[in-house]
Amino acid sequence: MKFISVAIKDFKELIRDRRGLFMILLFPMFFMIIFGIVYGNMGQTNETYNLAVVNLDEGAKMPLTNEEVNFGDNLTEIFSDSEYEDSDVKLFNVINTSESSANKLIQLKEADAMIVIPKN
């Protein structure tokens, strides 16, 4: 009972205080509008990013099946097959290259990111 009476008292004080009412109700709405205007179009464009992949993985044979497995190639294939949701636009344009060439592509801004897949 005491909790309810304290809550009612605080609510009445809040209604009387115009500045407090503004801060609680209108200020968050104001910020939502401002952030909506500033950041509203982020993530709306389906741009394909150039990804330089340096695959140093040589693969391995599975002991039981003698099957060749290269997880670096598998990861590269996952990147190249990735598409935006509800779209046919590729997420990455994968560029298989050496580490020095990948660094050069980054410096020339011809690649947006670089991933190095280590040996083993």
- Do 81 and 101 sit in the same domain of this protein? yes
Report the candidate in 120, 42, 48, 109 with the shortest Cα–Cα distance to residue 84: 48
12-22 average pLDDT score: 80
* Residues 57, 78 share a domain: yes
Instruction: Please indicate, yes or no, whether residues 34 and 59 belong to a single structural domain of this protein.
Output: no
Asked whether residue 44 is assigned to any structural domain, the reply reads no
Please write the tens of the pLDDT for every residue from 52-73: 999 998 888 888 888 888 888 8
Q: Which of 57, 56, 84, 96 is nearest to 111 (CA)?
A: 96
Residues 9 and 28 in one domain: yes
Number of domains in the chain: 2
State whether 33 and 56 are in the same domain.
Answer: no
In a domain, 77, yes or no: yes
- Which domain, by its residues, includes 110? 49-117
Strand partners, 51: 94, 113
Residues 33 and 78 in one domain: no
Domain-located, residue 91:
yes
The predicted pLDDT at position 42 comes to 66
> Mean of the per-residue pLDDT values for the chain?
86
